Structure 1
Amino acid sequence: MRGRVSSGLVAAGTAVALGCLALTVDNLRRLRTPDAGAAPVPAPEPVTVVLPVRDEAAAIEPCTRAVRAAMDRLPGPARLVVVDDRSGDGTAELARRVAAEDPRVEVVAGAPTPPGWLGKPWACQQGAETADTGQRPGVLVFVDADVRLEPHALAASVALLRSSGLDLVCPYPRQQAHGTAERLVQPLLQWSWMSTLPLGLAERSARPSLTAANGQLLVVDAAVYGAAGGHGAVRREVLEDMALLRALKRVGGRGVVVDGSTVATCRMYEGAGALREGYRKSLWSAFGSPLGAAGVVALLVLAYVVPALAALRGSRAGLLGYAAGVASRVLVARRTGGRAWPDALAHPVSVLALGALTADSVVARRRGTLRWRGRPVEVGR
């Protein structure tokens, strides 16, 4: 009886892994990419780049330098609004130095976070409110300080937004990973939505479950953003990027994540400690509830760990499931500029690491110990 149950689990896990591989292949055909060779923008229009920063002294100058170079490629008026979210490490002084060199750059001293708001949505909202797009609504671009834009990034991304007819696009930067912990976990960012979200359906559907977004680089039509309530509509959300796209969908907007590996790079966390702290603040909310988190982790283990363990015992079905997981990782890595080999071979270990990080985040949330940059992660805590 035990053998039949074990074989059934292996077969089920392998079937899920093969299904996700098939979806990955289909998504790779549909995945939109900002085209560096395309005409920059169909017509000149105002573009405002909002850069929220808090204690980013090491990143502010290289980030703003890259943004300014990318603004040079835009045919219409462009502004960079740096919102200093009450930094204590000299970030504001460095930002003002940049503004003194370029009249297109404005530094906003962030006001104290109001009750009912989290820090990043409040900083983004303040930046968006400064946008002066004239008679035309224009485009808002939100970018994180750890992102480095290529010179063609803004022009190509805005061109994609307009040519696609979408209201929001998130060019997913190429994720830079160094060291064991980063290389195990960071590649799962692109792989997760590429292997589970049907992109063609996600573009058309208003269903909240069919949503993937990335606030590292987010390009949105300013008028639709305003109609959705801006970041005020997601003021309490830890994953404000996902919530913002859902808010746009509620007012009839459409958006999707796209391949931004040719227009931007990002190293989110440096080292295992920073990676654990960063994921602890957000993974608890990624799956809706602790039960949802447990269900997703269990499904990932079924699909990518159980077949691998069975393969070690000589199971052909297990070997097929393990190979499907590795193949999915390799295909995504090659498309998005990641490291395919030998990292993809450790895919089951990556899944276990993600499960451990998720459990750590859920436990920390229940204990009320979640903090980020010196502030509580949840409103009211």
Structure 2
Amino acid sequence: MILVLLPLLLLTLHTAVNALLLRRPRREATTGERVAVLLPLRDEAARVTPCLRSLLAQRGVPELTVHVLDDGSTDGTADVVRAVAGDRVRLHTGAPLPPGWLGKPHACRQLADLAGDVDVLVFVDADVVLAADAVAGAVDLLRRSRTGLLSPYPKIVGAGRLVQPLLQWSWLTFLPLRGMERSPRPSLAAAGGQWLVLDRSAYQRAGGHAAVRDEILEDIALARAVKRAGGRIALADGSRLATCRMYDSWRELTDGYAKSLWASFGSATGAAAVVAMLLLLYVVPLLALPWIALFAYLLGVTGRVLAARATGGRAFPDALAHPVSVVLFACLIARSFHRRRHRRLSWRGRPV
């Protein structure tokens, strides 16, 4: 059991190093490039208003256009867009979903085509609210990092405080950020689709969203496609410039995770290996001798605190429940595979 403590210590140190190296967009940046912000919507009438208002308030980007695509909404989403933004955004009606495509990749592909001849594409989800200099800061960092795809991770708010922080913690703990940027390996890639910034030419070389048309995790698949085409990618902390309310209730969270977790590990065997590793490192040692249990627990909590401090999250008391978070995450993975096996996965009224 004592042998588990060394990997735990190394992983916590790795979290600390990544937290120090994590890229962050600058405040008050400006850019003269032609930038298109692209917002896909499907039944988002209840939550899109704050996002739209934040897009209309962007500064430091004189050559900015905002394109919104209503992807078959039935709740009056388009009417809300017109009421909030008027003619200050370009509202488009989405085409029917063709065979072989999932909804979000299809909506994003249409938006990229509608953006015209721009230099940078900025994809934003409806649950994201940007600070006034967020787009300018992200484009500036895209260029300074010399990457084709930048994923500035927003601050996650709303339901799921026991589970949601594991997103940032996981890539800070297990992913070598600078190594990911330098490595040409597509398998070494991560991205968050809530807010993605891409060089237009890198996006086109990668095949755009057509290359990931049937991918549940189209954000990570797109990052891998950029790498395959010879481009570089980077993760960044966008918590000072963006918030994202992914879910408003535990039920929404479990449905959302069920939709995609099964696709996160390559196979059921891969998922089982990840779950076993997490439980072995962060839960099983708590059953050992008291001093081993205490040391293991403190290392896990320290990693969570480091991740929270680096990404704008709440460190306490959330980090103190880290073993509980790991167990809940394992249960969500099992639920996702169970629902997929029984063909019960859907999202926004479409089968997955």
**Which amino acid in structure 1 is aligned with residue 165 of structure 2?**
P
Residue 166 of structure 1: aligned partner? 147
Given candidates 140, 146, 150, the residue that maps to 2:121 is 140
**Which amino acid in structure 2 is aligned with residue 335 of structure 1?**
A
Residue 128 of structure 1: aligned partner? 112
CA deviation map 1:16-55 (0-9, x unaligned): 2212101101111211000104x422xx111001101110
Residue 113 of structure 1: aligned partner? 97
Identity %: 54
Alpha-carbon deviation of 1:177?
3.5
Given candidates 30, 34, 37, the residue that maps to 1:40 is 30
SS of the residue corresponding to residue 52 of structure 1 reads: strand
Given candidates 363, 366, 380, the residue that maps to 2:338 is 363
Given candidates 66, 83, 95, the residue that maps to 1:97 is 83
**Which amino acid in structure 1 is aligned with residue 44 of structure 2?**
E
CA deviation map 1:246-292 (0-9, x unaligned): 00000100012110001100111111111100000000000111111
Alpha-carbon deviation of 1:205?
0.8
Inter-partner Cα distance in structure 1 for 2:12 and 2:187: 20
SS of the residue corresponding to residue 36 of structure 2 reads: strand
Residue 55 of structure 1: aligned partner? 43
Contact 1:173 1:259 in 2 (8 A): yes
Residue 81 of structure 1: aligned partner? 67
Alpha-carbon deviation of 1:11?
2.5
CA deviation map 1:190-219 (0-9, x unaligned): 101000000010001121231110010000
Please list, as runs of the form range in 1=range in 2, the aligned pairs for 1:1-381 lying within 5 A after superposition: 10-37=1-28, 39-41=29-31, 44-70=32-58, 72-75=59-62, 77-102=63-88, 105-133=89-117, 137-178=118-159, 182-310=160-288, 313-314=289-290, 316-377=291-352
CA deviation map 1:153-207 (0-9, x unaligned): 00100000011111111110001144xxx11001111101000000010001121
Alpha-carbon deviation of 1:138?
0.3
Instruction: Note the residue ranges of structure 2 that are not aligned, 5 or more in a row.
Output: none
Residue 7 of structure 1: aligned partner? none
Alpha-carbon deviation of 1:99?
4.6
Contact 1:169 1:258 in 2 (8 A): yes
Inter-partner Cα distance in structure 1 for 2:251 and 2:75: 20
Inter-partner Cα distance in structure 1 for 2:199 and 2:300: 36
Inter-partner Cα distance in structure 1 for 2:124 and 2:111: 11
Inter-partner Cα distance in structure 1 for 2:242 and 2:299: 29
Inter-partner Cα distance in structure 1 for 2:3 and 2:252: 35
**Aligned residue pair count:** 352
CA deviation map 1:65-124 (0-9, x unaligned): 101112x3213x11111111100000012123345242xx11110111110000000000
**Which amino acid in structure 2 is aligned with residue 305 of structure 1?**
V
Provide TM-score, normalisation by structure 1. Answer: 0.90
Contact 2:52 2:85 in 1 (8 A): no
CA deviation map 1:268-327 (0-9, x unaligned): 1111111100000000000111111110011000110012232xx51x223222111100
Inter-partner Cα distance in structure 1 for 2:2 and 2:102: 44
Instruction: Note the residue ranges of structure 1 that are not aligned, 5 or more in a row.
Output: 1-9
Inter-partner Cα distance in structure 2 for 1:177 and 1:343: 13
Inter-partner Cα distance in structure 1 for 2:64 and 2:286: 51
RMSD: 1.2
**Which amino acid in structure 2 is aligned with residue 260 of structure 1?**
G
Inter-partner Cα distance in structure 2 for 1:46 and 1:368: 43
Inter-partner Cα distance in structure 2 for 1:211 and 1:92: 35
Max Rg structure? 1
Inter-partner Cα distance in structure 2 for 1:264 and 1:270: 17
**Which amino acid in structure 2 is aligned with residue 97 of structure 1?**
A
Inter-partner Cα distance in structure 2 for 1:13 and 1:115: 48
Inter-partner Cα distance in structure 1 for 2:343 and 2:184: 33
CA deviation map 1:216-241 (0-9, x unaligned): 00000001101111000000000000
Inter-partner Cα distance in structure 1 for 2:94 and 2:87: 21
